[in-house]
């Protein structure tokens, strides 16, 4: 799996050559875009990482985690991830802040770190997507959208634990 990145890059470059894309020019355009995206999320991330660090330092995060421990244990769910599961559908930046917190405290290759990674990779900011898409066509009655979308998010959380348990540890 460690060759995944270099091989993926090579495949894209060969594809670009065949399609006569000006490789380096395109790369520079994209990289500039990447920088712009980063600059755009920077203020959000600074604000939310500070907020999450405060939540952890104050002991409030521990209280929250302890409060849900019985439920998390019954479901076989690492309790360190619970805040992220709750925040994930609501705020992309907030859950990224929690994700980096988990990496920092437990390491990206720990069980909690792996489950959090899979969870982050298999879910989206549900409420944001709903607001943007329905807002654009002024639809207010969204019927069964929310229940379907949140059930999908819950499935992703359960599957993240299951797949990491079965395939990685």
Partner 1 sequence: MMNYIFGAIIIISVICGILTGNGTALADGVISGAKDSMELLMTMAGMMMLWSGIMEIASQGGFTKVVSRALAPVLRKLFKNVPKDSKALHYISMNVSANLLGLGNAATPFGLSAMGELNKLSTEGGKATDDMVTFVVMNTASIQLMPTMIGTLRQTYGSAEPFDILPCVWISSACALAVGLILSKLLRR
Question: At closest approach, how far in Å is the CB of 70 from partner 1?
Answer: 21
C-alpha to C-alpha distance for 83 and 68, rounded to whole angstroms: 10
Of residues 115, 56, 57, the one with CA closest to residue 88: 115
Subset of 121-150 contacting partner 1 (CB under 8 A): 121-124, 126-127, 129-130, 132-134, 136-145, 147-149
The answer to the question of residue 75 lying near partner 1 (CB under 8 A) is: no
Are the beta carbons of 55 and 92 closer than 8 angstroms? no
Query: Per rule CB under 8 A, is residue 152 in the interface with partner 1?
Result: yes
Distance of alpha carbon 46 from alpha carbon 42, whole angstroms: 6
86 binds partner 1 (CB under 8 A): no
Q: Which of residues 1-60 bind partner 1 (CB under 8 A)?
A: 1-2, 4-5, 8-9, 12-13, 15-16, 18-19, 21-23, 26-35, 37-38, 42, 45-60
66 binds partner 1 (CB under 8 A): no
Q: Which helix (H) or strand (E) holds 51?
A: helix 23-57
């Amino acid at each position: 799996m460690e060759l995944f990145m270099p091989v993926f890059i090579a495949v894209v470059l060969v594809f670009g050559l065949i399609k006569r894309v000006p490789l380096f020019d395109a790369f520079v355009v994209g990289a500039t875009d990447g920088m712009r995206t980063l600059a755009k999320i920077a203020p959000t991330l600074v604000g939310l990482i500070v907020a999450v660090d405060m939540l952890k330092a104050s002991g409030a995060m521990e209280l929250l985690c302890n409060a849900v421990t019985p439920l998390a244990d019954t479901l076989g769910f690492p309790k360190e991830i619970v805040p992220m599961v709750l925040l994930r559908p609501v705020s992309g930046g907030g859950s990224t802040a929690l994700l980096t917190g988990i990496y920092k405290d437990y390491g990206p290759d720990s069980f909690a770190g792996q489950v959090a990674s899979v969870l982050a990779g298999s879910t989206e900011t549900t409420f944001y997507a709903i607001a943007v898409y329905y807002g654009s066509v002024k639809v207010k009655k969204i019927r069964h959208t929310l229940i379907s979308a949140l059930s999908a998010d819950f499935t992703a959380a359960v599957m993240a634990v299951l797949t990491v348990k079965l395939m990685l540890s």
